[in-house]
């Protein structure tokens, strides 16, 4: 599965995702389009995978759980969505920065807003592990976002 680098915004989001699926030889179905449209509303916040499953069942009652979860996995593999697990719960968010596929996040613990962090700390860790080969990593920062601080959210 090979992600492509395209920067998208606004109305282009679904079209870019469809192009990525086509490039990776996936069939474009109305169910996949519906899932993309739903997920595209979650660019700045993660959503529980169970909520995606529930939404898809409301629209397509006959759609199996396996199909929904398989599509989520495929979307993640080709770089359309980002997936993470926190406290044992799988969550996803729509990936719209196809130019900077490799990035990290700051996640607000109050409102859940996700902000991209472009700097990668991998070089720092590689220097501490001479002779080792790092093949993957994941880096997230947690705290309170500027909006929540400004609004005084507790």
Classify 83 as helix, strand or coil. Answer: strand
Query: 108 a known binding residue?
Result: yes
Q: Is 148 assigned to a binding site?
A: yes
137 labeled part of a ligand binding site? yes
Closest CA to 140 of 114, 129, 153, 128: 114
Cβ atoms within 10 A of the Cβ of 146, count? 10
Task: Please tell me whether 138 is known to bind a ligand.
Answer: no
145 is in an annotated binding site: yes
Phi, psi angle pair for 122, to nearest 5°: -60, -40
- The binding site for Zn(2+) consists of 108, 111, 145, 148
- The binding site for Fe cation consists of 102, 137
- The binding site consists of 102, 108, 111, 137, 145, 148
């Amino acid at each position: 599965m090979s992600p492509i680098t395209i920067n998208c915004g606004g109305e282009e989001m679904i079209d870019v995702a469809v192009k990525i699926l086509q490039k990776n030889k996936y069939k474009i179905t109305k169910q996949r389009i519906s899932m993309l449209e739903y997920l595209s509303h979650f660019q700045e916040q993660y959503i529980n995978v169970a909520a995606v499953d529930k939404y898809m069942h409301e629209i397509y009652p006959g759609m199996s759980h396996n199909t929904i979860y398989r599509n989520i996995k495929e979307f993640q593999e080709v770089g359309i969505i980002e997936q993470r697990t926190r406290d044992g719960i799988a969550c996803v968010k729509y990936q719209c920065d196809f130019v900077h596929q490799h990035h990290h996040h700051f996640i607000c613990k109050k409102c859940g807003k996700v902000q991209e962090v472009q700097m990668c700390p991998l070089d720092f860790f590689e220097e501490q592990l001479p002779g080792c080969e790092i093949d993957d990593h994941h880096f997230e920062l947690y705290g309170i976002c500027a909006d929540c601080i400004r609004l005084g959210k507790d």
